[in-house]
Structure 1
Amino acid sequence: MAIKLAAIDIDNTLLTSAPERKLTPENIQAIQQAVQMGIKIVLCSARPLAGIKRYLKQAGITENDQYVIIDNGALAQTVTGETTATHTLDMQIVTQLADLCQKNDWHYNVIDSESTMCTTDTRIGFYTVQLAAKYQAPLQVFRSVTDFGKRTFAKFDITEKPELLDQIEPQIQEKFGQRYYVVRSRPFLLEILDKNANKGRALTNLTQNLQLKQEETMAIGDEVNDLPMFQAAGLSVSMGNGVPAVKKAADYITDDNDHSGVGKAIHKFILDL
């Protein structure tokens, strides 16, 4: 059965490696050809919408009948920002996590539905600043969590050196893993989301809304937070630079992100059939 929707991770999948993090001409051309054929190209990321708008524009994914899955599946929106599904955090858990981070001197931020990063961490860690720059998201520092106001929060991020996060992650998993989705999306980034928030559930919700069959969908990724998306899609494609667990779970392994692996997968399974 023909693929009608391709869900594509961004960092180290669609984009080349740091520091460039850019779309290759081959990836752009393949995506634009697929869009012209009526294929849904769904960028799926831990980033908020602000952090992927430039890539949507570069790839020509601009019409309101195209979609994005952002904040690791907490939100699904049209590319113009109309929300179609939410799995967000309430203030009780945000407050609880913020208190825990403050008590242990862990750097953190929480991202709202408008792509703003909020924190009471006045020290503002290096990785928090790095994320804000990558996401192109405003970073606001408050005196208290109560000053955050009435916002809808997509996800809570703990940002620390990888070796420290190695120690933090088991503690967070033990304390919150039964009730929330806890995932290490980068060596320096641990995310806590609503239990129902992941790329796979968001992809399933979207395909159901679009009345597409599972076998009509393809997912491309490189990291463990892409595994739920692999389970939801009919065809799973690992990047050549994917971590071992992703390669093992994939139906097919394409080239790496620095050699247009996404474009090559789109050609193989959509354009060249």
Structure 2
Amino acid sequence: MSEPTQQSIRFLLSDMDGTLLLPDHTLSQRTIESVRALREAGVLFSLATGRPPKAMLQTIEALGVDLPTAAFNGGTIVHPDGSLLVAHYLPGTAALTTLALFADQPGIEVWVFSGGDWLLKDPHGPMVPREQHGLGYPPVVVESFEPYLTRIDKIVATSNNHELLIELEARLLPMVEGQAQVSRSQPVFLDVTAMQANKGAALATLAEFLGVALEHTAAMGDGGNDPAMFQCAGLSIAMGQAEEVVKHQADVVTGPNTEDGAAQAIERYILPR
């Protein structure tokens, strides 16, 4: 892929898992230093992730992020003091449709995020330990998701059967068209959020809040929920381990997250400008 046109970048919005973070959910020293250099150069920096807000706190602190951050794929944008800039909830009809489809599928676990809590019915699901390690807090076990229908931030279907999630994504999209966003944030996660909850809208909202024109923004990510911000950003960067369909929608492709690809991109494409 050819080098992008030289242009001043004033704001970088980055995904977390699979982008800034290593597979064990930690930050490399090189990544920490590259973000520090970015901020010292006067480039604004923030995060956009499918995670809930409180699962971002450790990374926010480690990187010194002092701007609003986008959680739930942009469904919630939170100021550093915890107050809300934006909150979009999944419509009840779309939530019911999604939960009904997922309930009939063997081999997947269904999680609901509401009011900062991670809700599930089966605490012994095989994907639970991985998520608890990544989030840094335990789930809340519930008998029914119905009491939470009016304030659902995100519904997740998760499985190690990647093909099943691809099939479910294709089936669900026409069922909630115009009501919800459906995307695989990672190969093992199928996320369902409000229609306005996408990283592209989050980038546009944050850029306007910060007074930065979109052509002077950059976006970096690896998952199926990241091309939405690629399409808005002046410069889009895909991680080396991303699926081909994601990489093809980015301006440039950097190294994988296991090789400090985010730091490589910052050093190569943003800091020199």
The bucket for the TM-score relative to the shorter chain is 0.7 to 0.9
Q: 1:116-172: CA deviations, max 9, x gaps?
A: 1123x2365222442233112441122233444x87321111123324324423322
Equivalent residue, structure 1, for 2:189: 189
Q: Which moved more, 1:26-35 or 1:130-139?
A: 130-139
Equivalent residue, structure 2, for 1:244: 244
Equivalent residue, structure 2, for 1:258: 258
Equivalent residue, structure 1, for 2:135: 135
Any gaps of 5 or more consecutive residues in structure 1?
none
Q: CA 1:111 to 1:125, structure 2 compared with 1: closer, same or farther past 3 Å?
A: same
**TM-score, structure 2 normalization:** 0.87
**Equivalent residues of 1:219, 1:229 under 8 A apart:** yes
- Inter-partner Cα distance in structure 1 for 2:171 and 2:250: 30
**Equivalent residues of 1:89, 1:194 under 8 A apart:** yes
Q: CA 1:103 to 1:267, structure 2 compared with 1: closer, same or farther past 3 Å?
A: closer
**Are residue 7 (structure 1) and residue 24 (structure 2) matched?**
no
Q: 1:90-129: CA deviations, max 9, x gaps?
A: 4444344334433545521111242x1123x236522244
**Equivalent residues of 2:90, 2:180 under 8 A apart:** no
Equivalent residue, structure 1, for 2:4: none
**Equivalent residues of 1:40, 1:67 under 8 A apart:** no
- Inter-partner Cα distance in structure 2 for 1:166 and 1:243: 13
Q: CA 1:224 to 1:95, structure 2 compared with 1: closer, same or farther past 3 Å?
A: closer
Equivalent residue, structure 1, for 2:53: 49
Equivalent residue, structure 2, for 1:177: 177
Report the AA paired with residue 236 of structure 1: S
Equivalent residue, structure 2, for 1:72: 73
Shift, 1:264, TM fit: 2.1
Looking at secondary structure, tell me which structure has more helix per residue.
1
Report the AA paired with residue 153 of structure 1: I
Q: CA 1:99 to 1:124, structure 2 compared with 1: closer, same or farther past 3 Å?
A: farther
How is 1:90-105 mapped onto 2 (pairs within 5 angstroms)? Answer: 90-104=91-105
**Equivalent residues of 2:157, 2:189 under 8 A apart:** yes
**Are residue 58 (structure 1) and residue 73 (structure 2) matched?**
no
**Equivalent residues of 1:204, 1:232 under 8 A apart:** yes
Percent identity among equivalent residues?
26
**Equivalent residues of 2:94, 2:180 under 8 A apart:** no
Q: CA 1:178 to 1:147, structure 2 compared with 1: closer, same or farther past 3 Å?
A: closer
- Inter-partner Cα distance in structure 2 for 1:137 and 1:151: 23
Number of matched residues?
Answer: 265
Report the AA paired with residue 159 of structure 1: T
Q: CA 1:179 to 1:22, structure 2 compared with 1: closer, same or farther past 3 Å?
A: same
**Equivalent residues of 1:127, 1:188 under 8 A apart:** no
- Inter-partner Cα distance in structure 1 for 2:93 and 2:137: 24
**Are residue 21 (structure 1) and residue 25 (structure 2) matched?**
yes
Give the RMSD, CA atoms, in angstroms. Answer: 2.2
Shift, 1:254, TM fit: 1.8
- Inter-partner Cα distance in structure 2 for 1:102 and 1:264: 42
- Inter-partner Cα distance in structure 2 for 1:165 and 1:137: 25
Any gaps of 5 or more consecutive residues in structure 2?
1-6
- Inter-partner Cα distance in structure 1 for 2:255 and 2:59: 20
- Inter-partner Cα distance in structure 1 for 2:138 and 2:82: 17
SS state of the match for residue 72, structure 1? Answer: helix
Shift, 1:43, TM fit: 1.2
SS state of the match for residue 224, structure 1? Answer: coil
- Inter-partner Cα distance in structure 1 for 2:35 and 2:129: 31
Shift, 1:6, TM fit: 0.4
- Inter-partner Cα distance in structure 1 for 2:115 and 2:81: 14
